[in-house]
Amino acid sequence: MMPTWPAWPKAFADLYRETGCWRGETFGNMLRERAKTHGGSIAVVAGETRLTYAELDERADRLAAGFHALGIGPGDRVVLQLPNIAAFVEACFALFRLGALPVFALPTHRSSEIAYFCEFAEAVAYLVPDVHDGFDYRGLARQVQGKCPMLRHIIVAGDPGEFTSLEGLYAEPINMPGPSPADVAFMQLSGGSTGLPKLIPRTHDDYIYSLRTSADICRLDRSSVYMAALPAAHNFPLSSPGILGTLYTGGKIVLAPRPSPDEAFPLIAREGVTITALVPPLALIWMEAAEARRHDLSSLRVLQVGGAKFSPEAAARVRSVLGCTLQQVYGMAEGLVNYTRLDDPEEVIIHTQGRPMSPYDEIRVVDEEDREVGEGETGHLLTRGPYTIRGYYNAEAHNAKAFTSDGFYRTGDLVRLAPNGCLVVEGRAKDQINRGGEKVAAEEIENHLLAHPNVHDAAVVSMPDEFLGERTCAFIIPRGRTPAAGELRAFLRERGLAAYKLPDRVEITDRFPQTAVGKVSKKALRETIAAKLQPRAASDA
């Protein structure tokens, strides 16, 4: 079967072109132009590596030639699992120029996730580092190779072992036609709420529009220094305005290997970082570290926080503790991104998750029957616009549920529209746990738990957590012997699941509460575990 990615209907595509949202740019040409106008400026700093725009441009060309020599061509999918190293940026632009599509995996993904991405996307290649954070990705690649015989190439940045060396691929640049602006440039991962993650196809046109607009809102220019502290492949540090938005404006990107203050603070001081992005738990850690120690963070003008709800109490402390403006960012890899504006009143910055970045973003807040709720009431957020997808990759049946018949994406978030036009995230309707910005689809974990011989049934829900906002709790009805929590976690790890998806807590029960129609009541389970945690929280205090 031919892969499908629902495009925008012609009338919308025409509108987005006529209004100048989509300007017919591609990533490959964007880098070429920056290299022409300011080739001598530093584009990328990563570890000891410093690349100018001219060098990045040339290395992308040489790597594209190397990929081409391996037989990787337009439309081919390549699962890319690289940490925050220069090779990430080079590989992205090399693939963009070829018209091959990176599928952005996260460094924490393991064989279960990676094998699924490779198979589902019918990837021809898988790109990994040798060792990162003490983990040997070549071992993971061996497991993936065993599960995915169609994978033609495993390419390693660093010591390749028995695989193909990324460094060895750089070759004499060749002429290639390159993709069209309306083509899909890459695939992002959805946080997911169903059994298996979905792939999000993003085009050059739509993504470049989103990062150009983001860069504008964040007032980026050639003097801006953006630090990627979150994993580069995630949509937030990649595009809001992130790595690509900074390169669009000709600024400098600094890739931090890890987001800890120990590593990030010295980099901020050394490179004069002006803007960076964090998830809420990291923002808390940074504030604590900044209060305790003296690092020169005076270059930092904007701290973006998003991915999960940032508490107003913490938000209120950012300016005094870190000496910069807080920007709340509420976005999704499917498209829509909301920002508080840099000159918004403090009240708005602290208490809202911002407003859509584009005047062409359409927002609806609706009830269970898709009817608009009253002014200021909480409802389901639906959205449509020039950079929000119209459907996931190869997921026709799911798309029929995840999008309305007129093309609005059902975000699964419960929001309220404040009188000033800003959104406040009030909760979530989708069956997902947001573990401090890391999204866990309950059904995916339940399916893995059900494979354990001593699990009769499983229901995974969120439980409140002061630090991460939420953690995961797995309710288990045992079969025969009662499995221990550690045993279940080991079982899931053994099955190749990313560590952030392992249940933080396991509760044994003999039955699940039910809703009126006889479904498992996750609401009741959430209440059960929250009530159980409460006395402990009180005695801890």
User: Which residues of this chain interact with ligand AMP, rule CB under 6 A?
Assistant: 190-191, 235, 306-309, 328-333, 353, 411, 413, 425, 428, 434, 439
Q: Which of 469, 496 has the CB closer to ligand AMP? A: 469
By CB under 6 A, residue 436 contacts ligand DBH:
no
Q: Which of 441, 520 has the CB closer to ligand AMP? A: 441
Closest CA to 519 of 473, 457, 454, 466: 457
CA torsion sign for 271, 275, 280, 285 is positive
Q: Which of 141, 238 has the CB closer to ligand AMP? A: 238
Q: Which of 160, 331 has the CB closer to ligand DBH? A: 331
Select from ligand AMP, ligand DBH, none the partner in contact with residue 337, using the beta carbon and a kind-dependent cut-off of 5 to 8 Å. Answer: ligand DBH
By CB under 6 A, residue 329 contacts ligand DBH:
yes
Select from ligand DBH, ligand AMP, none the partner in contact with residue 428, using the beta carbon and a kind-dependent cut-off of 5 to 8 Å. Answer: ligand AMP
For 295, phi then psi, to 5°, come to -125, 150
User: Which residues contact residue 426 at a Cβ distance below 8 angstroms, ignoring those fewer than 6 apart?
Assistant: 378, 414, 415, 416
Q: Which of 250, 307 has the CB closer to ligand AMP? A: 307
Which H/E stretch holds residue 134?
none
User: Which residues contact residue 161 at a Cβ distance below 8 angstroms, ignoring those fewer than 6 apart?
Assistant: 130, 138
Select from ligand DBH, ligand AMP, none the partner in contact with residue 413, using the beta carbon and a kind-dependent cut-off of 5 to 8 Å. Answer: ligand AMP
Least Cβ distance, residue 468 to ligand AMP (angstroms): 13
Considering only 229, 283, 333, 395, the residue that binds ligand DBH (CB under 6 A) is 333
Q: Which of 274, 353 has the CB closer to ligand AMP? A: 353
- Residues that bind ligand DBH (rule: CB under 6 A) add up to a total of 11
How far is residue 236's CA from residue 389's CA, in Å, rounded to a whole number? Answer: 16
Least Cβ distance, residue 200 to ligand DBH (angstroms): 10
Considering only 213, 235, 246, 411, the residue that binds ligand DBH (CB under 6 A) is 235
Where in 247-306 is the site for ligand DBH (CB under 6 A)? 306
Closest CA to 100 of 130, 60, 49: 60
Check whether the bond before 241 is cis (ω within 30° of 0).
Answer: yes
The 3-state DSSP class for residue 400 equals helix
Cα distances (angstroms) measured from residue 88 to each of 11, 212, 238, 308: 36, 21, 11, 25
The 3-state DSSP class for residue 375 equals coil
Closest CA to 199 of 150, 238, 235, 243: 235
Least Cβ distance, residue 197 to ligand DBH (angstroms): 13
By CB under 6 A, residue 190 contacts ligand DBH:
no
Cα distances (angstroms) measured from residue 388 to each of 205, 209, 379, 385: 11, 11, 20, 5
How far is residue 410's CA from residue 16's CA, in Å, rounded to a whole number? Answer: 21
Closest CA to 387 of 333, 320, 336: 336
Strands 302-306 and 135-136: unpaired
Q: Please identify the residue of the shown chain whose CB is closest to the bound ligand AMP.
A: 191
**Two tokens, residue 258:** 């890890």
Considering only 208, 229, 302, 337, the residue that binds ligand DBH (CB under 6 A) is 337
Least Cβ distance, residue 105 to ligand AMP (angstroms): 13
Classify each residue of 440-479 as buried b or exposed e, where b means 16 or more C-beta atoms within 10 Å of its C-beta: bbbbbbbebbeebeebebbbbbbbebeebbbbbbbbbeee
Least Cβ distance, residue 461 to ligand AMP (angstroms): 16
Least Cβ distance, residue 483 to ligand DBH (angstroms): 32
Least Cβ distance, residue 51 to ligand AMP (angstroms): 29
Q: Which of 191, 231 has the CB closer to ligand AMP? A: 191
Q: Which of 111, 239 has the CB closer to ligand DBH? A: 239
By CB under 6 A, residue 245 contacts ligand DBH:
no
Least Cβ distance, residue 331 to ligand DBH (angstroms): 3
The residue type found at 390 is R
Q: How many residues does the chain have?
A: 541
By CB under 6 A, residue 240 contacts ligand DBH:
yes
User: Which residues contact residue 267 at a Cβ distance below 8 angstroms, ignoring those fewer than 6 apart?
Assistant: 227, 254, 256, 273
Select from ligand DBH, ligand AMP, none the partner in contact with residue 111, using the beta carbon and a kind-dependent cut-off of 5 to 8 Å. Answer: none
Least Cβ distance, residue 306 to ligand DBH (angstroms): 4
- How large is the angle between the packed helices 27-38 and 242-249, nearest 10 degrees? 40
Stretch of residues binding ligand DBH (CB under 6 A), selected from 95-103, 231-239, 409-417, 514-522:
231-239
Closest CA to 281 of 255, 253, 261: 261
8 A C-beta contact, residue 79 and residue 92:
no
DSSP 162: T
Least Cβ distance, residue 239 to ligand DBH (angstroms): 6
Considering only 8, 170, 209, 236, the residue that binds ligand DBH (CB under 6 A) is 236
**Two tokens, residue 467:** 């630090």
Select from ligand DBH, ligand AMP, none the partner in contact with residue 287, using the beta carbon and a kind-dependent cut-off of 5 to 8 Å. Answer: none
Least Cβ distance, residue 202 to ligand AMP (angstroms): 12
Q: Please identify the residue of the shown chain whose CB is closest to the bound ligand DBH.
A: 331
Residues at the interface with ligand DBH (CB under 6 A):
235-236, 239-240, 306-307, 329, 331-333, 337
